[in-house]
Chain A
Amino acid sequence: MALPLSYSLRNLWTRKLTTLLTAGGMALVVFVFAAVLMLEAGLNHTLVDTGNVENVIAIRKGAGAEIQSGILRPAAGLIESQPQVETGPDGAPLSSKETVVLISLQKRSDDKPSNVTARGVGMLAFNLRPQIRIAAGRVFRPGSHELVVGKSIASKFQGAGLGEVIHFAGGNWNVVGIIDSDGSGFDSEIWGDAEQLMPAFRRQSVFSSMVVKLADPSTFDAFKHAIESDPRLTVEVKRERQFYADQSEAMATFIRVLGMTLTAIFSIGAIIGAMITMYSAVANRTGEIGTLRALGFRRSAVMGAFLVESLLQALVGGIIGLFMASFMQLVTVSTMNFQSFAELAFGFTMTPGIIIKTLLFSLLMGLIGGFMPAARAAGMNIVTALRSV
């Protein structure tokens, strides 16, 4: 039979300062661990949610990103004429031929230049991305030098605010609207009329990518086969969500590897801290251990009581760390995406999965830190332990 949970809980409470200091050390590690997972989830949320389940994107075969891709007008016509592509009320295919270029803008914070994605789109692009809404101002007028700007760009770059003017490609472009795509990658883009941006960048006949909406998402394989097996096309087709997930992979891997390496190093310190605390607890309660064993509690019960104490202490650290990490949701990170070489803003996202993983991580630290002291407690000779009273 195990010792009551109250025995472990009250012992933690009795030495509350030590408990709090040890749990505090663990909380800092848990904070780093959770923050890394939240950053990765935020990046994933930003890029994966950029894609729409029903949409398919076509880029040049072998091009890892839109910026490296090129699709000629005739090829674009062939793609949108496939029978799987949904058509609008007017019979026109629901497709958006898009041009993606990088422009350099200066940051408001430090005047340093950074790459920003400028996307030339047709008006159907808004129908294909229903998550995008005009947060302020209006949509650009086709045939004009007008732009709408993602909310992350508008706040961070000079000239990108509503009513301001951006100078690039030898011309002035008026910002007439701010778009909000609920934290997706489009918040970090500038959109304008493709037919205006293409000549400005001397790309009259080449689009970067093409997005089409399938009438039935289950026909994706047939659509992909038709496009990729057509000898006239050197194009590869991906579901839009998959495309953006691939875009996040390099940066997500970097964040994960860096974060987990740091966490692993820090966690060794936290585990040693927990171990010292628990060894001290065992040393201070040697007489109690002898008494419990004399009363008939087995070694396993004593071991369990000290392990539970270490786990509870770690759980306190885990909860404090998670609580601190939850405030990171208020922070937005803006950095260059390795895949697109453009500025990308993303936040820290807390998910139920992260909460579970983080608490399990803190419990694992408690288990490792508490195991050896608990084993020492369980291994004590009863007579020797009783003599220490």
Chain B
Amino acid sequence: MSDGNGAAPPLVRLHDITKSYKRGAQIVPVLSGISFDIGAGEFLALMGPSGSGKSTLLNLIAGIDQPDSGELLVDGVNIGALSEVELADWRAGNVGFIFQFYNLMPVLTAFENVELPLLLASLSRAERRDHVEAVLELVGLQDRAEHYPNELSGGQQQRVAIARALVSDPNLIVADEPTGDLDRESAEDILKLMQTLNRELHKTIILVTHDARAAAHAHAIMHLEKGELSAREEVTGH
């Protein structure tokens, strides 16, 4: 959320966003009249029951889906008005993704998986290598660079995915149930790593989760219920 003092513009601004899906001939509303801001450097958790629309909202903010109506500004860019190609280019430079099941390419090594987003940037091979090595070190996997995903534990795979999300230095990182496939200990490590990224690298993080313990690592929690924002809760201790 914006800090309310008007000093810095929000990184993400949603105004009256609606989204529905077609299921056969039926139109199913998912989000209706969603408006809120997310300040730069904030760590926000989106919670809600299954089907509440939290993943849909995350997809809209990340630019992999388009709203039916309303205005969605990210860092001043109206991403709802971008063409498909422009949106792809925008995602490559501005958003880092962390998925529940890591979504690594099984035929690429950890190094190559992390390098993928950099192939979309104008960097030399040496520059790419430097960036990849730096983020792998940041997530503590520099010695696993040449390992394939099936040679890594779930926690390690998620760390690789976090490194991939970080490598192009985006302002915004979206994470959809990033700990949903991990044991408690690994989940805690991942959440702490995300906190570190937020605190030390000032990344704005939006975390979708149904796990209250995971959400507690954020600055604030927003609840979605039947496509509507029902409450916002500040997390103490941050």
Chain A positions near chain B (C-beta within 8 angstroms): 1, 3-4, 6-7, 10-11, 13-14, 287-288, 290-299, 382-383, 386, 389
Instruction: State whether A297 touches B88 (Cβ < 8 A).
Output: yes
In the bound complex, what is the Cα–Cα distance between A6 and B105 (angstroms)?
12
In the bound complex, what is the Cα–Cα distance between A348 and B145 (angstroms)?
52
Instruction: State whether A7 touches B107 (Cβ < 8 A).
Output: yes
In the bound complex, what is the Cα–Cα distance between A238 and B112 (angstroms)?
66
Instruction: State whether A295 touches B101 (Cβ < 8 A).
Output: no
**Which of B91-99, B184-192, B219-227 interfaces with chain A?**
B91-99
Instruction: State whether A6 touches B117 (Cβ < 8 A).
Output: no
Nearest neighbor of B94 in chain A, beta-carbon distance: A296
In the bound complex, what is the Cα–Cα distance between A290 and B88 (angstroms)?
12
* Shortest Cβ distance from residue B150 to the other chain A in the assembled complex, whole angstroms: 11
B50 within 8 A of A: no
**Among A1, A6, A291, which residue has its beta carbon within 8 angstroms of that of B120?**
A1
Instruction: State whether B119 touches A11 (Cβ < 8 A).
Output: no
Within 8 A of A (CB), among B47-106: 59, 62, 64-65, 84-85, 88-93, 97, 99-101, 103, 105-106
Additional A-B contact list (8), CB under 8 Å, known A1-B120, A10-B108, A296-B89? A6-B112, A291-B105, A295-B117, A295-B120, A296-B120, A298-B85, A299-B84, A382-B65
Tell me if A's interface is mostly helix, strand, loop or mixed. Answer: helix
**Among B107, B117, B120, which residue has its beta carbon within 8 angstroms of that of A10?**
B107
Instruction: State whether B99 touches A296 (Cβ < 8 A).
Output: no
* Shortest Cβ distance from residue B120 to the other chain A in the assembled complex, whole angstroms: 5
In the bound complex, what is the Cα–Cα distance between A4 and B107 (angstroms)?
12
Instruction: State whether B99 touches A389 (Cβ < 8 A).
Output: yes
B116 within 8 A of A: yes
In the bound complex, what is the Cα–Cα distance between A290 and B99 (angstroms)?
11
Instruction: State whether A383 touches B108 (Cβ < 8 A).
Output: no
Instruction: State whether B107 touches A1 (Cβ < 8 A).
Output: no
Residues of A within 8 A of B65 (CB): 382-383
Instruction: State whether A389 touches B101 (Cβ < 8 A).
Output: yes
**Among B91, B108, B112, which residue has its beta carbon within 8 angstroms of that of A295?**
B91
Known A-B contacts A3-B119, A4-B119, A383-B65; A296 and B92 likewise in contact (beta carbons under 8 Å) = yes
In the bound complex, what is the Cα–Cα distance between A90 and B95 (angstroms)?
93
Residues of B within 8 A of A13 (CB): 107
In the bound complex, what is the Cα–Cα distance between A13 and B85 (angstroms)?
31
* Shortest Cβ distance from residue A202 to the other chain B in the assembled complex, whole angstroms: 79
Residues of B within 8 A of A298 (CB): 85, 88
Instruction: State whether B112 touches A294 (Cβ < 8 A).
Output: no
Instruction: State whether B105 touches A288 (Cβ < 8 A).
Output: yes
* Shortest Cβ distance from residue A73 to the other chain B in the assembled complex, whole angstroms: 80
Known A-B contacts A6-B112, A11-B107, A297-B88; A383 and B59 likewise in contact (beta carbons under 8 Å) = yes
In the bound complex, what is the Cα–Cα distance between A389 and B99 (angstroms)?
10
Residues of B within 8 A of A389 (CB): 99-101, 103
Residues of B within 8 A of A383 (CB): 59, 64-65
In the bound complex, what is the Cα–Cα distance between A4 and B100 (angstroms)?
25
In the bound complex, what is the Cα–Cα distance between A11 and B108 (angstroms)?
9
Instruction: State whether B105 touches A295 (Cβ < 8 A).
Output: no
